[in-house]
């Protein structure tokens, strides 16, 4: 008996999350090239100087209305932008617009103590440090050696002086550093569904429901650690680049239930409703699917829908009590 191709199984699973015509629009976006988004690193350069230099190179960035430092250029200018000297020396950082929203939703402030629990390659950590004006303390964690050293190099290139990098498994951080941080970002390792391109079989050849569920189990451990490590009253921002409920709402829902039944293992927390500008294509988090009933507060999460400027993205803010 022939097994279904990974892309066919993915499309069927996507329709259980986003019924047509939304699923059709998501799949359509996976066939089209995306604009190349980037962020101006204000630790190294001011916005106007960066824009002048780009325009001198015949690049004319389009701004996003939700951030003074976020821009994009057309997809056909991706190579020219990524090889620009401003990118090479850390004054600009190429990063999809959806990922740039993570630091804005986390909302770190100068002089706070912040943790990025799965930090490589470092784009969100750089943004956090920029938002903190290089004041305070930023701890970044990455367990894989090659990715760890890439993370450190990116931090150094960007002029980040407040970061300490730790090569270790993030699942043990909450145990070793309980209630230490004001804010925690967990951009969890996931099945990377939002990076699938339908014309690139290598982007989906390893996708399977089994992998999605394996990711979900690992994400539960990391998110539990994040909740243990944040101070009472502090915020954890949990995000992924997956569409799957199993990696998103179901992970948060499991720990929400666990926090009520076993608060010694998972500290109590509540969902903080997130909001996004009208120009960002998003839907609320799912409180129910065809097969699962979830806590109704999951509607406080946001699901960014992919289009020509945004990748798919999930974000949920958890405030420890």
List the catalytic residues: 241
CA-nearest of 195, 203, 168, 174 to 269 is 174
Query: Cα(130)–Cα(126) distance, rounded to whole angstroms?
Result: 6
Which residues are paired to 183 by β-bridges? 114, 235
For the record, the structure tokens of 157 come out as 């290139």
Give how far Cα 307 sits from Cα of 15, 30, 32, Å: 17, 8, 9
Query: Cα(272)–Cα(180) distance, rounded to whole angstroms?
Result: 20
Exposed, middle or buried, 104 (CB in 10 Å: 0-12/13-18/19+)? middle
For the record, the structure tokens of 230 come out as 């944040």
For the record, the structure tokens of 173 come out as 């951080």
Query: Cα(122)–Cα(92) distance, rounded to whole angstroms?
Result: 13
CA-nearest of 133, 200, 197, 125 to 163 is 125
Residues 108/183, Cβ–Cβ less than 8 Å: yes
Query: Cα(10)–Cα(3) distance, rounded to whole angstroms?
Result: 13
| Residue tagged 């964690």 (tokens) | 141
Query: Cα(132)–Cα(236) distance, rounded to whole angstroms?
Result: 17
Residues 6+ apart with CB under 8 A from 28: none
Exposed, middle or buried, 278 (CB in 10 Å: 0-12/13-18/19+)? exposed
């Amino acid at each position: 008996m022939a097994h279904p191709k990974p892309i066919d199984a993915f499309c069927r699973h996507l329709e259980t999350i986003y019924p047509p015509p939304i699923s059709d629009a998501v799949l359509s976006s996976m066939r089209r090239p995306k604009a190349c988004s980037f962020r101006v690193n204000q630790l190294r350069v001011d916005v106007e100087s960066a824009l002048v230099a780009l325009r001198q190179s015949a690049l004319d960035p389009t701004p996003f209305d939700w951030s003074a430092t976020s821009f994009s250029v057309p997809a056909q200018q991706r190579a020219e932008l990524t090889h620009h000297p401003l990118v090479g020396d850390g004054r600009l950082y190429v990063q999809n617009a959806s990922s740039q929203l993570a630091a804005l939703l986390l909302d770190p402030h100068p002089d706070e103590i912040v943790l990025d629990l799965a930090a490589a390659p470092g784009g969100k950590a750089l943004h956090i440090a920029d938002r903190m004006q290089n004041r305070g303390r930023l701890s970044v964690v990455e367990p894989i050696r090659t990715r760890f050293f890439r993370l450190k190099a990116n931090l150094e290139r960007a002029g980040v002086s407040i970061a300490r990098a730790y090569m270790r498994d993030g699942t043990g951080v909450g145990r070793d550093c309980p209630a230490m941080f004001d804010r925690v970002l967990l951009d969890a390792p996931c099945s990377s569904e939002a990076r699938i391109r339908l014309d690139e079989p290598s982007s989906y050849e390893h996708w399977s429901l089994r992998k999605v569920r394996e990711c979900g189990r690992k994400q539960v451990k990391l998110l539990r650690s994040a909740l243990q490590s944040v101070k009472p009253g502090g915020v954890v921002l949990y995000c992924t680049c997956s569409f799957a409920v199993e990696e998103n709402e179901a992970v948060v829902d499991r720990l929400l239930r666990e926090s009520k039944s076993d608060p010694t293992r998972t500290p109590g927390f509540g969902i903080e409703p997130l909001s996004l500008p009208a120009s960002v294509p998003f839907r609320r988090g799912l409180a129910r699917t065809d097969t699962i009933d979830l806590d109704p507060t999951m509607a406080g999460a946001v699901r960014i829908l992919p289009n020509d400027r945004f990748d798919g993205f999930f974000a949920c803010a958890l405030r420890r009590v």
